[in-house]
Each structure stands twice: as C-alpha cells, then as structure tokens.
Amino acid sequence: MSVAYDSVDQTAAAAIRLDAELRRAHPRTILEAAVESFGDKLALVSSFGAESSVLLDIAARVKPDIAVLFLDTGMLFGQTLDYRRNLAERLGLTNVRDLRPAYQDLATADPQAKLWQTDTDACCHVRKVLPLDRALGEFDAWITGRKRFHGGDRLNLPVVEHADGKVKFNPLANWGKSDLDAYAAEHDLPAHPLVAQGFPSIGCWPCTQPAEEGEDVRAGRWKGLDKTECGIHVARAPGTPNNVGGDI
Ligand code: SF4
C-alpha cells in the first residue's frame, strides 16, 4: 500500500510522524516502512561508493526492483563504474538508473569539462543536482545513505525528514562504522576497490583524495576547499528551478 500526500503540509506531517516512529528502528525496518508508505513512488539514491553496499543489500532484500538512482557525473573513477555494474548484478537489483548530465547543460556551462577547476558548486549543480532533480520528479520520497558519524552538517541528521515537498529516509543515520563493517562482513559484501587504496569516501576523481590517518571519513572530498556537500542535500528556497532539497 502506498500513501499519497496532497500538500506540502501533509508531507511534512508524515515525515515528522514517521521519524518519531522509526527513530530507533533497524535500517531494514526503516526501509520496509518506506516501501509500505510509498511503494513505487520511492527511490534510493546511491553513489555506489565506499559504504554503499550495506544499504543496497538491505534494499535488495526488501524490494529488489526499487528504483536506484546513480549519478554518473562523467567524472567518476572507472573503478566506481565497474563496482556499480558488478554490485547491482550480485545483489539482484533490477532497476538501477544511470543519471547523466544533460548535453545542453554541459554545452552551456562546462563545454571543456574543466568547470571543477574554477567553480565546484556550479560543476556539482550541472552534473549532480540538475540530473537528480529531473529524476526525482516522478517520486514522492527517497532514501539516502547519509550517517551522523560522517560529521559536519550530518551530525544532527534525523531518520526521516521533509525537504522540498518530498520525504527523505536516512535508514543508516544511527549506524556507526563498526555497524557497517559488521553487516558487510556478515553478508560477505564486496568492498569498493578504492577503499583498499585509502579512500574512505569516494566521489568524482578530480575532487576525491585518500584521507589521512585520523581524519574524518569525508576529509578527502573537495580537500582544501570550503565545501563538504555537493548540493543535493541542501534544501533550496521554493520557486528555484532545482528545488529538491539530497549517499553522495
Ligand atoms: S564532485 Fe567535482 S567533478 Fe564531481 S560534479 Fe562536483 S565539482 Fe564536478
């Protein structure tokens, strides 16, 4: 059964109610509740990065045909593209969608594919935010892989939240690194190949470095810049064209 919410107020109220119910629930319980509430109007957004296998495995057990949205920015490591293919096949996920930047947007904003050198926010906007905005148009709710232990803006992450007219589920918000490692070991999940090379968080190749000993998980992302998020998890003012508000 899936539920349709007719207004932003109803959607926000549903998110508050679900967060209260699911605040301490196991990630699988949260995913089951999300599927129960939203059915085919629910998507999971995954980077197929360093910690993605746990959430993807749980999702595959609950609903193998869930829509999995993968942002193929055109700037990903080849290892990530291989991992996305192999992991989806192994887990039996049948509905992984590769989201690519629009040709027109790239021709206008980044014809040389060098925008990341001068304006990372604009580059993320064209290569991540806009493609995800378009894909999320057909969904009422989505699932992310964000966790509190990543720190920064994620320290106060709720399990269920409301952003830009949609419900966002963060089933792993409560889990720490040891929980993830234990689940991956118990289910024999393959690691992203770059983890063994010192990358605890993996995004686009121009903006990802290995983390040093003792640094935060996301320390190698946009290193040296005043930037910690790509923009898909930032709620925007109503009326802006990319109003989605968004494990990336
Ligand atoms: S992470 Fe870097 S290369 Fe990827 S979209 Fe953002 S700025 Fe561009």
| Helices 27-38 and 52-62, axial angle in degrees (round to 10) | 50
β-pairing verdict for 96-99 and 141-143 = unpaired
pLDDT at position 242: 34
How many angstroms separate the CA atoms of 56 and 46, rounded? 8
Residue 36 and residue 1 in contact, taking contact as beta carbons nearer than 8 Å: yes
Amino acid 237: pLDDT: 47
Q: Which helix (H) or strand (E) holds 42?
A: strand 42-46
Domains of the chain in start order, with CATH, are 8-207 (3.40.50.620)
Report the residue among 230, 232, 234 best suited for mutation to probe ligand 1: largest number of ligand atoms under 8 A from its CB: 230
> Nearest Cα to 248, choosing from 34, 49, 43, 42?
49
Residues in the chain: 248
Ligand 1 atom 7: the closest Cα is on which residue? 120
Phi-psi region of 22 (alpha: psi -120 to 50; beta: other; left: phi over 0): alpha
Scanning the structure block, which residue is given the tokens 């109610």?
17
Q: How many angstroms separate the CA atoms of 151 and 48, rounded? A: 20
CB 132 within 8 A of CB 98: no
Q: For residue 93, indicate whether it is catalytic.
A: no
Provide the pLDDT for residue 218.
74
How confident is the prediction along the chain (248 residues), in pLDDT tens digits per residue?
Answer: 566 676 778 888 889 999 999 999 999 999 999 999 999 999 999 999 999 999 999 999 999 999 999 999 999 999 999 999 999 999 999 999 999 999 999 999 999 999 999 999 999 999 999 999 999 999 999 999 999 888 777 788 999 999 888 999 999 999 999 999 999 999 999 999 999 998 888 999 999 988 887 777 777 777 777 777 777 766 554 434 333 323 55
Distance between Cα 110 and ligand 1 center (Å): 11
Per-residue confidence (pLDDT) for residue 240, from 0 to 100: 41
